[in-house]
Amino acid sequence: MPPLEDILQEITTFENHVSRRSFLGAAFLIAVAPKISLGKDDQHFLDAVAATLIPATALQSTGINVAENVEHLLRTGSAEHRRKVTRFLAWSQRASILYGGEKVALNARGSRFMLVRKMGRTLSSLCLIAFWADERALKLINDAEVRT
């Protein structure tokens, strides 16, 4: 299954978890107004999270902007999918207050709550797909091959 579809599935399972568990739902502050495109806050958040997952040298040498690529991926999909992703980002930003700010994707992996672990994995996947789906990232693979 293509990776973005995989992300949408993970977000849906995450949403189902939130709606089924009132305590955790409250922790994530359920009422998030859906948007159909990424706001400035979302872009800053995505770039900051991506910087914790991808080496700075890789981001610099390829010139890839993760938030721009997420926006591009969403543009090809439906409004429903865009709303899912923006709502998920809003939740993640709120959770980041408890889980180390921009390090939320990494810190959430160690949580005792399965819901938080799923959020961490989904957020990581979204940023990593947006980076590695860009052909400019192939340079990193090809350079490594030449070295070895």
Partner 1 sequence: MIRKLSSEHRRHIVSARDLHSSENHRKVLTEVYDACVIGSGPGGAVTAETLVQAGLKVLLVEKGPFIPQEQINFRVLDMSNRFGHVETTSGYRTVLYQGSALGGSSMIFGAVAMKPKQFVLDEWREKSGVAEFNAETLEPHYQYVAKVMSVTKQTSDLENRPNAIVREMASALGKPDDLVLVNRYTSACAGVGLCNFGCGVDLKGTMSNSFLPLALATEKLTVLTDCEARAVIGEKADGKWTAAGVAVSARDQVNRDASQTMTIKARRIIVAAGAFFSSAILLRSPGFPNRQSIGQKVFLQPHAQVFALFDEPMTTRGLFANGQYVPRNGVPAIYNFLGYLKEHHFWWLASILYPASLASFISHLPPQEHFEIMRQFHRTMSLTVTVKDDPAKSRIVLKDGRAQLDFEESKQDIESFRRCFSIAAKGLLAVGARRVFLPLLRPPVIEKPSDLNRIENLKFTYNDLISYSDHTSGGNSYGVDARRGATDSSGLVFGTTNVYVADSSLFPTAPGVNPSWTIMAFARHVANGILTRG
Residues that bind partner 1 (CB under 8 A): 1-9, 12-13, 16-17, 52-55, 58, 69, 72-74, 76-81, 106, 109, 114, 117-118, 121, 124-125, 128-129, 131-135, 137-138, 140-145
**Cα three-residue angle 36-37-41, rounded to 5 degrees:** 125
Q: Which amino acid makes up residue 58?
A: A
Tell me how far CA of residue 105 lies from CA of 17, 47, 139, in angstroms: 18, 12, 25
Tally the C-alpha atoms within 13 A of residue 146's C-alpha that lie toward its C-beta: 6
Least distance from partner 1 to the Cβ atom of residue 62, Å: 12
Least distance from partner 1 to the Cβ atom of residue 67, Å: 13
Least distance from partner 1 to the Cβ atom of residue 15, Å: 9
Give the separation between CA 83 and CA 34, rounded to whole angstroms: 5
Least distance from partner 1 to the Cβ atom of residue 123, Å: 9
- Which CB atom, from 44 or from 118, has the smaller least distance to partner 1? 118
Give the separation between CA 28 and CA 70, rounded to whole angstroms: 22
Q: How far apart are the first and last CA of the chain?
A: 31
Give the separation between CA 130 and CA 68, rounded to whole angstroms: 9
